Chain A
Amino acid sequence: MQTPSATLVSRFAMEVASACFVMAIGALVCFGAREFGIGWGDAGPQPGYFPFYVGLIIVIASCGVLVQALLQRRDRRESFLTREQGGRILAFFGPMLGFVVLSVLLGMYVALTIYLCSVMVVQGGYRFHKAAAISVATAVISYVVFEVWFLVPLLKGPLEAWLGVH
């Protein structure tokens, strides 16, 4: 954090948000556990026993985290994420999300070529032909290693079907 930049999210807000989120998960686990009985039967705990108490402990402990956050006021001024950092995170996470969406739609080979190439050109500042060469080479190498040598199939899409590659 050498460059001073406006705080986007304060640490305090993040502490509270994550504690609440975790608490919600705990409550969800408790709710889900009730399906199969949460008591202690003749043969020890019922299937829902452990999940229920695990959920309950999550709720209680996240309350503890919440109270701690409220008491420690210094957190309110501390920054969790500055505007600049937020931008960097978004610039990294966005394409990654795109990669997953493309993988599901077009298969992993096409997705990884597009993803690698675009990230290298846009963020790495590489020339297009160099980036394209590297990303296509990665796709081909992955194909040879996984599908041909080790017979592990990766997710394939319409392009592979059209080419008749399997």
Chain B
Amino acid sequence: MENFGNLMDGFGIALSFYHLALMAAGVLLGILVGVLPGLGAPNGVSLLLPLTFTMDPVSAIILLTSMYWGALFGGSTTSILFNIPGEPSSVATTFDGYPMAQQGKATQALTLAFMSAGTGALFGVVLITALSTWVAQFALKFSSPEYFAVYLLTFASFIGMGSASPFKAVVSMMLGFACAAVGMDGVSGNVRLTFGFTALISGISFLVAVIGLFGIGELLQTMEEGLRFEGLHARINIRDVFHAIYTLPKYWVTLLRSALIGCWMGITPGGPTAASFMSYGLAKRFARNKENFGKGDPNGVIAPETADHSAGTCAILPMLALGVPGSATAAVMMGGLMIWGLTPGPMLFIERPDFVWSLIASMYLGNVMAVVLVLATVPFFAAILRIPFSIIGPMIVVVCFIGAYTIAGSTLDLWLVLPFGILGYVFKKLDYPIAPMVLAMVLGDKAEDAFRQSMIFSKGSLGIFWTNSMLVASIMTIAMLLLFWPLIGKLIGRLRRAI
């Protein structure tokens, strides 16, 4: 229980008035950048970075991580209210969060999202506290075949998610892969599928596609039905918030499963994005009423949010212990670490235990504080939905385009939003599932890189995915089981009937 003692020391440092004030300031700023379009956690953290140059490292990291938590919570807000995910990892939240908001249950959706995110984060920190040394060792076991296996598992948990036509699901996912392949190929260094447009060398930004597909596509559909949000006049009061908190324990199975998936994906550096998608996929698979998913099922909000945040918190550990940042925001923080004079890596735990453990302690405090602060903003944000649609509609359009422009400061992205918007609208009306396309866009190039690196390792033999380690073999087996589950399920059903 050496870790516990260390943690108490950490609390000793983190629980000062100055540090608590920094946390509150960080969380509030974070919520602000999370909610604003085009500003995400990476922007916010890089802008605060210069301020921290003169601070002591412990205070600096507390400020930056608190901002990160705040931004994550803020990002879920826009996913639910406007169908515009702020970060890749909150895309899965839009699937059921936005339908809930449309049905007038915005307060409930927001509250559930924040509470389950908070639960997930706390679950992650507890795990970090208990297993810090072991976890860092575990992450070292991951090489390209293991990465590929994890991505395959994520895809597999999404296959067979039920749509009108399997052809349409395939078309949608493959279009996502095709978009992900545009631009420079990391393995060979060749520039693919740009057809001579140099602006495409850095690829089609996944966020631009999502803004078009979800933001504009959804608006087009709302417009077609005649200028209104359904459930516009839903009453919003603080009692709804408490009521939603009260219902949360009902979903304990989803919470627990999602937190476990999140922690697993955070430690094996699969990342929060893969975690949230996988968790959503599995929640739907295990649900009794699969038809409710995508139409505003609370489980569809709780699952991705819990997994996202537990993965996000767990990912901090390999980042500190191995020096490999799990997300863009983590990367900026690592840059900060170096400027403050710390070297991320295995020795950080030994050389600067005060830094590491006060950071972990601040993760407990910061997340609790973030949940409280963000819940206080729920009535305010939910009230936005009461603004007449003829004002809020065009405002969302402006917000979408500002968001698209700020990603890379490129006018090409402004134009790209339009075709993606039309595609999202047409696909939705024709029952093409859009989620697989987004998943493939986010993870497609990573999966391809991992696959091809593995092939270089094995000199072109596919056997590496079974022989490289026990780990990769077991993940691959689970992935295969999931992939063929519909078939296996049918087989079992037939056998039962035969008996």
Contact = CB atoms under 8 A, between A and B. Distances in A.
Contact of A65 (B171, B451, B455): B171
Contact of B401 (A99, A120, A153): A99
Given A14-B430, A64-B167, A150-B33, A55 B226 contact: no
Contact of B394 (A32, A116, A151): A116
Contacts of A41: 460
Output the residue of A44, A116, A150 with the most chain B CB within 10 A: A44
Interface string B455-493: 110111000000000000000000000000000000000
Interface string B186-201: 0110101101000000
B171 A116 contact: no
Interface size range on A against B: 35 or more
Interface in A11-40: 11, 14-15, 18, 22, 25-26, 28-29, 32-33, 35-36, 40
B148 to A, nearest CB: 12
20 contacts: A14-B429, A14-B430, A32-B193, A41-B460, A42-B460, A45-B451, A45-B452, A47-B185, A48-B192, A51-B181, A54-B174, A92-B219, A92-B220, A92-B393, A93-B220, A108-B401, A123-B227, A124-B391, A142-B402, A152-B43
Contact of B223 (A35, A42, A89): A89
B430 A32 contact: no
Contacts of B192: 32-33, 35-36, 47-48, 51
A54 B223 CA distance: 34
Interface string A71-100: 000000000110001001101110111011
Output the residue of B190, B225, B402, B456 with the most chain A CB within 10 A: B402
B414 interface: yes
B178 interface: yes
Nearest to A43: B456
A65 B38 CA distance: 36
B168 A65 contact: yes
Closest 3 CB pairs of A and B: A44-B455, A124-B390, A64-B167
Contact of A43 (B393, B409, B418, B460): B460
A72 B260 CA distance: 44
Output the residue of B195, B390, B417, B458 with the most chain A CB within 10 A: B390
Output the residue of A80, A152, A154 with the most chain B CB within 10 A: A152
Contacts of B39: 146, 150, 152
Interface string A109-146: 00010011001100111100000001000100010011
A96 B185 CA distance: 34
Given A51-B178, A58-B175, A138-B398, A89 B170 contact: no
A106 interface: no
B162 interface: no
A162 B175 CA distance: 44
Contact of A54 (B165, B178, B187, B426): B178
Given A116-B394, A124-B390, A150 B43 contact: yes
Given A35-B192, A104-B414, A124-B388, A154 B181 contact: no
B193 A18 contact: no
B9 interface: no
A54 B440 CA distance: 11
B397 interface: yes
A124 B394 CA distance: 10
B455 A62 contact: no
Contacts of A43: 452, 455-456, 459-460
A19 to B, nearest CB: 8
B56 interface: no
Given A36-B190, A115-B398, A61 B170 contact: yes
A155 interface: yes
A61 B223 contact: no
Contacts of B226: 88
Output the residue of B174, B190, B216, B426 with the most chain A CB within 10 A: B174
Contacts of A54: 174, 177-178, 181
Contacts of B195: 28, 32
Contact of A58 (B178, B393, B406, B459): B178
Nearest to A80: B429
Contacts of A142: 402
B251 interface: no
B261 to A, nearest CB: 27
Interface in B46-76: 47
Contacts of B170: 57, 61, 64
A112 B167 contact: no
Given A51-B192, A68-B165, A119 B171 contact: no
A104 B223 contact: no
Given A44-B459, A150-B33, 13 more contacts: A28-B195, A43-B452, A54-B181, A61-B167, A65-B171, A88-B223, A92-B393, A103-B411, A112-B402, A123-B227, A138-B395, A146-B406, A154-B406
A159 B245 CA distance: 50
B392 to A, nearest CB: 10
A124 B171 CA distance: 38
A130 B320 CA distance: 53
Interface in B443-461: 448, 451-452, 454-456, 458-460
A99 to B, nearest CB: 7
